[in-house]
Amino acid sequence: MEKYDVLIIGAGVTGTAVARELSRYQLKIGVLEREEDVCCGTSKANSAIVHAGYDAEPGTLKAKMNVRGNQLIGELAQELDFPFRRNGSLVLCLDEKQYPALQKLYEKGIANGVKELRILSREEVLEMEPNVTDQVVAALYAPTGGIVCPFHMTIAFAENACENGVTFHFNTEVKTIFRKQVADAAESPEQTDIEKMYLPHDTGTWQLVTSSGIFEAKCIINAAGIYADYFHNMVSEKKIHITPRKGEYCLLDKTAGTHVDHTIFALPGKFGKGVLVTPTVHGNLLIGPTATDIENKEGINTTREGLDEVLTKSTASVKNIPTRQVITSFAGLRAHSDGDDFIIEEAVKDFIDCAGIESPGLSSAPAIGEMVAEILRKKYALQEKDNFISTRKGMKDFQKMTLEERNEQIRHNPAYGNIICRCEMVTEGEIMDAIHRPLGARSLDGIKRRTRAGMGRCQAGFCSPRTMEILARELQIPIEEITKSGRNSQIIKGTNKSSFVDTFKEENRI
């Protein structure tokens, strides 16, 4: 049994941000994640937007965390070396009758403490963004809005936390949470074997029964995304309910990446901020999402209806979107709580919820980490470390190097002279680095999130075999054990696996 002071359930952007902040203190911290890597849930499938903070209702945790997170993220991007750009955002008003709603949004932003907000005229908007719809009459401009890479941001938090002593347990699904049994508690004949070992809701430490064994901790942080209600309801009599809210997106090629420079929103509605059009920090164009409440917590399939809605509604805000340049589509699930606000509090003794973290959760993550760390600091009188490492160096990006820097890198490591992903110009050296870094990649998707190999126009059609070969070689495992994203996602499967592997190796010269 492994014992910790604090165990965090979930290695998404919230869980890793909390882990990074708590790693400042003299604590033994563990993170339990059911998937094979960080950033495998909501954190990997979202709009990649750092919201300014004008949309949330004043006085809510959403408002407070959003504005504070926005303030923190610029410095964090420099300290932890992940891509971030304050490109600003525009909320379009397409009808004079909508102007009061735009004014109300401005007033909410001012009440929330958003800086530099102003309402632009039609002429100012068109000068700033020539491709927005001709129907625009005004817009709310928020210069503090930004765009970020959610993969690199989450990985940066996790790597820095790991360097500061946090232990990550992947492929570890939490099944049950109990309080440790009091020594003199009487056993009942009706108790099951598990119940004889543990009594729920008792005094003492928490014990978590997982797919990888039993873990013990003084304190639990529940950062389980759309499953946060499942764990909360195990330990608390006051139940909560999380609804998975599906959002579908289309990603366009980099040839469309300059169609707009700012993030373009429609006026918000009942189900959120509507379909946006935005550049990404990597040079693509992203449109979406839809907002459909579903029951299936694994329902990340895209639909014809959803993608049609994205394509149709995006053209209401921005004209001439080159939709023929769509290279992929995807869907993500947002954790919508019935109370329509973040839940960040001690649910029961030594059990802290970070639940209902939907949009603007990505923007809020640094502030949520800060808030949870402060709760624990006061509760347990935590002492800071003398040797906390506040910075982290990201991966080398061969594509962004000068010619001299490339030549020097290749002299140092010839693998950087071997291009594996032609669409994104990712080298063998970068893939090797992604594998051998702290919490390194173990799957094709793990490589993709760290290096962008497979994220380009061909969507891994050409580079997957070579990436698999490098993974197998560097991890020293058979190539048939390489997965797309862990668990049951082997690329090479079936009864004739051995002959298929031989053919695969021969055709790809492995």
CA dist., res. 471 & res. 492, Å (int)? 14
Q: Is 462 exposed, middle or buried (0-12, 13-18, 19+ CB in 10 A)?
A: middle
Peptide bond into 465 cis (omega under 30): no
Out of 51, 169, 259, 282, which one is annotated catalytic?
51
Query: Which residue is it, tokens 């059009």?
Result: 277
CA dist., res. 158 & res. 13, Å (int)? 9
CA dist., res. 410 & res. 52, Å (int)? 41
CA dist., res. 393 & res. 329, Å (int)? 31
CA dist., res. 335 & res. 340, Å (int)? 10
Token pair for 446: 């793990």
Backbone torsions φ then ψ of 20, nearest 5 degrees: -65, -45
CA dist., res. 346 & res. 337, Å (int)? 16
Backbone torsions φ then ψ of 320, nearest 5 degrees: 60, 35
**DSSP H/E element including 488:** none
Backbone torsions φ then ψ of 52, nearest 5 degrees: -70, -40
CA dist., res. 373 & res. 25, Å (int)? 9
CA dist., res. 282 & res. 254, Å (int)? 8
Q: Is the dihedral of CA 364, 366, 370, 375 positive or negative?
A: positive
**DSSP H/E element including 255:** none
**DSSP H/E element including 355:** strand 351-355
CA dihedral 42, 6, 346, 203 (to 10 degrees): 130
Between the alpha carbon of residue 83 and those of residues 71, 77, 108, 319, 440, the distances in Å are: 16, 7, 29, 28, 19
Name 121's Cβ contacts closer than 8 Å, sequence gap at least 6.
Answer: 138
Q: Is 259 a catalytic residue?
A: no
CA dist., res. 502 & res. 510, Å (int)? 9
Peptide bond into 414 cis (omega under 30): no
> On the CB side of 247, how many CA atoms lie within 13 Å of its CA?
26
Backbone dihedral region for residue 220 (phi beyond 0: left; psi -120 to 50: alpha; all else: beta): beta
CA dist., res. 5 & res. 27, Å (int)? 6
Q: Just list the catalytic residues.
A: 51
